[in-house]
Structure 1
Amino acid sequence: MKKFIKGKWFPVIVAIAILVLAAGVVLTMVLFGWRFTYAPELENSWVAISAVAAWAGAIGTVAAVFSAIHVANQQNKIALFEKRYKIFQLYDSCKIFSELLQSLKGKNGLNSNDIQVLFLAVFCGIPMGEKINDFRFLHTQYIMMLEQLKQSQFLFEKEIELYLQIIAGALQRLIKSICHSAPESELESVVQSFIVLFQDENSEIMLKKMMNKLTLQ
């Protein structure tokens, strides 16, 4: 019921109901003999005119309130959509990153430099041929990503939030391994843990659930 009241059709239905009610009242009065007549000899009833004006004002006020509520709800939905979409894009980038890591692992093996280049290309838009020899930049970028993923607790249900926290933790371990120049065996283990997160059925389930939230309805 609450969802219906906040829906886009509720104000329209209310307006139609008011019009139908008004038409029903007029029709009932006509059936009982009430007619619009021109009688210049009769004096205007200012009390009746005031009453009609008061009713018209009340109806207009109610309509304005419902309209304002509807507009506010739409604005809130747009704001939520934008924030959810940013997290969805970040999740999609993580998925692409994992696929590129899997491809790199199968072709040339893993090393910190190549992983760093992939990370900067996928998440920062830096061309693949360029390399930034500053781990502080890399660290700053992934901290921003982690902060963005943490916002999921306010935007998605608990199940999605927990899943994104797992991804954030795996990404954090991966970036720390690069920044600290971890041994190849440790780096490979961390990378594999990150890749596996996007290869199970749960990944597709979470993806569909997030997509279901990307709506303005």
Structure 2
Amino acid sequence: MRNVLADLALESEAALALTMRVARAMDNQDDEHEKLLSRLATPVGKYWVCKRTPNHAYEAMEVIGGSGVMENHIMPRLFRESPINAIWEGSGNVQCLDILRAIGKQPEVLQAYLSEVNKARGGDPRLDRFVDQLQESVTRTDELQYRARNLADRLALALQGSLLVRHAPNHVADAFCASRLEATGGLNYGTLSTGLDCAAILDRARARA
């Protein structure tokens, strides 16, 4: 259970870091880097967070147990409403097409995005390898629409990883890079690898609640 809770806390902190970075960019449109960053980071963030929310809500409901499905608890409503995010903000495919449109019409938005991500260069070798692979991938123009969701996934993870490496405690950034950026990471919550400081992650989550 500690593994599951720490994984959920990681997802929440990474989503918040991405959201606040986009908000800062939107608040500083007079700065060219921030303007370019927001053009790409906005659809990336919408796509990723909206897609991740329903499973996050479901897992939290499962953690609570039987009372989590009772209508006098907040979780049933949160779970039912979680898919609305993607519908309201634009479907996943629409957001992915917006990402491709931004890159196609204004290639400098991608350079600004990668420049932002690379501010964490040297902070974690797993992030560096992930970003190197991402940069190679975006130079390929074959079947971009077919690969759009994969590209959006990796753009989101790269920025989240960069933000956590730069601004979060080491135990948070380490766990994120190990579980999200490595091929050995699990596909469900609660599959964090051994050797991570789950207790510290949970203490941080409780302090932020």
| TM-score where L is the length of structure 2 | 0.29
Instruction: Indicate the structure (1 or 2) with the bigger Cα radius of gyration.
Output: 1
TM-score normalized by the length of structure 1: 0.28
Identify the structure with bigger relative contact order (alpha carbons < 8 Å, sequence gap 6+): 2
